[in-house]
Amino acid sequence: MTSALGKDLLALEPLTPEQIRLILDTAEPFKEISERAIKKVPALRGKTIVNLFFESSTRTRISFEFAEKRLSADTVNVASVGSSVQKGETLVDTARNLEAMRIDMVVIRHGASGAARFLADRIESNVINAGDGTHEHPTQGLLDILTLRDHFGDLAGRRICIVGDVLHSRVARSNIWGLKKLGAEVAVCGPKSLLPWGIDEFGVKVFKRVEEAIEWAEALNVLRLQLERMQAGYIPSLREYNRVFGITHERLDRAPRDILILHPGPMNRGVEIDSDVADGPHSVILNQVTNGVAVRMAVLYLLAGGRPELAESAKASAPGAER
């Protein structure tokens, strides 16, 4: 049967606002499960899920694995660092082998943009994109949006700026599409050398200076700056990056309002974000991590054909649901 989301979750760009709201609304009852003593409901009992990670990941992989286990799915982790090319087996062969094992779902993280779509086009199992190259990371986008919604309620008209290496960020793309679909005003800010050419055609504001972004925004989603960007000549040094684009409390103190701080992690403290900001009163970075499990449970549940209106009772039917 086709779920309310279709077969796969590959990106936020093609989703409707209703589909995004459905995932967020479905995540709400699942949040509570993680607060229980026995964190398990039988919603996906008997389903088999492969977590196929071609890139190293701690947070996303563990978050998916907890989401799967809390829904009682049977899971297998395949970690294969390095591209499929280096590994020798092609992605299409990997896909065929998975298909032959009659699995129900695949969660894929891959270094090549489009890899999740490539897999989804070739197998019948549901595919969830856990980050493909510099394309999209839809569950990260959803958990960021859920965290913003927890704080602001309706996101329509809210001003959210994504700061940093947008060029190489799959998180940024998923955030931009998802937030815009819910009516938020979205801006990006970073050195021009780290913004994609054509970014203004996404319908976002572009700030050249981080001070302008802070002046404007109600929330900042601060992207990780990878050391390789300096080696590849996009910026001169991490030190200068922190001085010019870093989110510091000195800069935030000059803002006309309190600004909510998000970061998809892992953080480079002292580079894109200072520790006192990351650990400060307006940081919701750990709420993001908590919400990540609930959002992924919602996505798994919906793709498996779970009816959204039953999400509440799905958790109630948990064995030993009393706390």
Partner 1 sequence: MTEARDILLSGGRVIDPSAGRDETTDVLLRDGKVEAIGRSLGAPEGAEVLDCSGLLVSPGFIDVHCHLREPGREDVETVATGARAAAAGGFTAVCAMPNTEPVTDNQAAVGFIIRQGLRAAAARVYPIGAISVGQRGEALAEFGEMVGAGAVAVSDDGKPVVSAHLMRTALEYAQAFDIPVIDHCEEPTLAKGGSMNEGMMSARLGLRGIPAEAEEIMVIRDILLARRTGGHVHLAHMSTAGSVELIRWGKERGINVTAEVTPHHLTLTEAAVGGFDTSAKMNPPLRTEADVEALREALRDGTIDLVATDHAPHHYDAKEREFADAPFGIVGLETALALVVTELVEKGIIDFPTLVDRMSTRPAKLFHLEGGSLAQGSTADVTVFDPAREWVVDPSKFLSKGRNTPYAGDQLRGRAVYTIVGGRVVFRLEE
Cα 7–chain centre separation:
19
Interacting positions 60-99 with partner 1 (CB under 8 A) = 83-85, 90-92
**Does the protein bind partner 1 through residue 13 (CB under 8 A)?**
yes
Window of 39-47, 126-134, 182-190, 295-303 that interacts with partner 1 by CB under 8 A: 126-134
Rule CB under 8 A: is residue 105 a binding residue for partner 1? no
Of the residues 5, 22, 24, 115, which one makes contact with partner 1 according to CB under 8 A: 115
The rounded distance, in Å, linking the Cα atoms of 285 and 313 is 30
Q: Is 273 helix (H, G, I), strand (E, B) or coil?
A: strand
- As a dihedral over the C-alpha atoms of residue 238, residue 239, residue 241, residue 245, rounded to 10 degrees, the angle is 140
Binding piece for partner 1, criterion CB under 8 A, among 112-120, 143-151, 264-272, 292-300: 112-120
Count of residues for the chain?
323
Are the C-beta atoms of 173 and 13 separated by less than 8 Å? yes
| Smaller CB separation from partner 1, 13 or 99 | 13
Q: Decide: is 135 part of the binding site for partner 1 (CB under 8 A).
A: yes
Task: Please give the structure tokens belonging to residue 96.
Answer: 């065929």
**Comparing C-alpha atoms, which of 66, 53, 137 is closest to residue 294?**
66
Q: Which amino acid is at 236?
A: P
> Contact with partner 1 (CB under 8 A): which of 114, 265, 270, 308?
114
Sign of dihedral through CA atoms 154, 159, 162, 167?
positive
Q: Kindly tell me which of 135 and 251 has the beta carbon lying closer to partner 1.
A: 135
Q: How many residues bind partner 1 (CB under 8 A)?
A: 27
134 binds partner 1 (CB under 8 A): yes
Asked if 99 and 123 count as a contact pair (C-beta separation under 8 A), the reply is yes
List the one residue from 8, 65, 104, 132 that touches partner 1 (CB under 8 A). Answer: 132
199 binds partner 1 (CB under 8 A): yes
Residues that bind partner 1 (CB under 8 A): 13, 83-85, 90-92, 110, 112-115, 117-118, 132-136, 170, 173, 196-199, 201-202
